[in-house]
Amino acid sequence: MTGQERREQLIGIGRRLFAERGVEGTSVEEIAATAGVSKPVVYEHFGGKEGLYAVVVDREISGLLEAITRALSGRGSPRTLLERATVALLDYIERSTDGFRILVRDSPVTTTTGSFASLLSDVVTQVEYLLVDAFAARGFPPQTAAMYAQMLVGMVATTGQWWLETREPPKEEVAAHLVNLAWNGLTGLERRPRLAARGPAGATEGA
């Protein structure tokens, strides 16, 4: 096994163990034993457990942020972009469950520090940029866009953490309900919400 292959092997093992037990519950001895190498090999590549953890987290953040940025950078109405970003997060949770567990384990969305919180801050900035124009077009104060961006991103991220464990209802249905609440508000909820790209929405309550 080449040095690069060994490094990738250790990253994969670390990712799985960190997801299962957290960084505090994982030891260098366990990482080395699982890889079939001695402890000095882990230190040689990463300087220790914390260095390996940092590499794993950086990869996960880059992958998730890239997916959400791509969703928010495309063409479409604000609602369409919101749908795409919501689905992008749920896609990531479904595809990279271990990675998402690592990101949220020690960085809940209610804190102002930590890797996941830092990532959400980047996403909030992008959402705010989109909301400014949408708010101005509708006569709302553009300066409130920052506050609403925090609300939207926090709601989606918290729901994503819940869905990580339940996996019910299906991903598209969760996304449709999230967008339904974000777009229509409680007083305008649709009876049977669907993503706009997948079909017409149901009738609205009381309207």
- Interatomic CA distance for residues 55 and 14, integer angstroms: 10
Inter-axis angle of helices 3-21 and 97-105, to 10 degrees? 60
pLDDT in tens, the chain (207 residues): 798 999 999 999 999 999 999 888 999 999 999 999 999 999 999 999 999 999 999 898 888 888 888 888 878 888 888 899 899 989 999 999 999 888 887 554 444 445 677 778 888 888 888 788 777 877 888 888 888 888 888 898 899 989 988 899 999 999 999 999 988 887 777 778 888 866 544 444 443
Which pLDDT value is given to residue 38? 95
Tell me the two tokens of residue 145: 């866009």
Which pLDDT value is given to residue 107? 52
> Which residues touch 1 (CB under 8 Å, ≥6 apart)?
9
Q: Global pTM?
A: 0.77
Which pLDDT value is given to residue 198? 61
* 193 touches 180 (CB < 8 A): yes
- Interatomic CA distance for residues 88 and 82, integer angstroms: 10
For 79, other C-beta atoms within 10 Å of its C-beta total: 15
Q: What share of the chain is helix, strand, coil (3-state, %, to 5)?
A: 75, 0, 25
Tell me the two tokens of residue 70: 């791509």
Element (H, E) at 45: helix 39-46
Which pLDDT value is given to residue 152? 87
Which pLDDT value is given to residue 203? 43
Return the sign of the alpha-carbon dihedral for residues 23, 29, 32, 38.
positive
